Amino acid sequence: MFFVPRFRAFAAVAALTAAAAIAHAQQALPNVVILATGGTIAGAGASAANSATYAAAKVPVDKLIAGLPEISKVANVRGEQVFQIASESFTNDNLMGLAKRVSALSKQADVDGIVITHGTDTLEETAYFLNLVVRTSKPIVVVGSMRPGTALSADGALNLYDAVNVAASKDASGKGVLVTMNDEIQSGRDVSKVVNIKTEAFKSQWGPLGMVVEGKNYWFRAPVKRHTTQSEFNIDEITALPAVDIVYGYGNVPSTAIDALGKSGVKALVHAGTGNGSVADRIVPVLQKLRGDGVQIIRSSRVSDGFVIRNAEQPDDKYDWVTAHDLKPQKARILAMVALTKTNDSKELQRIFWEY
């Protein structure tokens, strides 16, 4: 007769002890916030065989998290749905809104790391923008996928698991904004999408910073360009981004696009030239005129690797042009927009392109 109450009391104490142990374990884990913006990682196809044909930005962040219970052993994770769009539709306002939210979260004592799920088409642009304007040493990791979660051999779940692992890791602090795709940890500054139908889609000519294998980070190099806490730019002080556009160089190129953009009120123009940022002879005077009208000319290259050498191919000093160094045109545009919020002096802009 007396055993039943005693057993119940023992069971109640055991349950409380177990609950306390779970609560203690959760308190010991890092706190990671996942900011979801849409993209393929939130996409869905008509069948498991659809790995390249699907609708992006369909799955909400709470379902992404619920579908990956393993991350609960890595960090205390919560999600916010910031946007639900395909990344080719990202605007400057989207960039600004996301960066301000990341900045605000980074200041909270109860946030140890931030993950941003993102479509892959402009993922590199967002990662670089955050790298320039969010002043924090806390890990910020941007992640996407090349296949929707409904596809055979979908890559999104492992990419997201790796991203949470990196964001929760103290050894990822102070390394700038990172990108985790295909087991690699890439610098948000250096990485670009180079393939559109393979899971190994993101590469940097300088190589990854490290790798994630079964939840463990392995680091091999660190970024040397200025970023985050070392940056002179701060999203909390930026209210608008100036208009910067890109024109593409190719054989028989006319000046039509340049003329139109010049009339649109653009503040800077990135010329994606051939080879070493070469500019066709008939285009040179058109760009010179724009520079005379106050538009900054930034000479970049459409070539995937290498870097533009100043005063080679074109006399940049004479024309008062800026060279993009190793930044691809789309990233040169991002840096130009950010830099122009501080200065319109071409020498200062060139310094910024060397340093960032």
Residues known to be catalytic: 40, 120
CA neighbours within 13 Å on the CB side: how many for 284? Answer: 13
Tell me how far the alpha carbon of residue 42 is from its chain's centroid.
16
* Nearest one of 81, 98, 78 to 42, comparing CA atoms: 81
**Using an 8 Å Cβ cutoff, are 179 and 142 in contact?**
yes
* Nearest one of 29, 23, 22 to 215, comparing CA atoms: 29
Give the Cα separation of 93 and 186 in Å (integer).
25
Give the Cα separation of 126 and 119 in Å (integer).
10
Task: From residue 266, give the alpha-carbon distance in Å to each of 135, 244, 245, 252.
Answer: 28, 6, 7, 24
Neighbour tally for 231: CB within 10 Å:
19
Query: Mind giving me the DSSP string for 26-68?
Result: HHHS-EEEEEEEESGGG-B-SSTT-SSS-BSS-S-HHHHHHT-
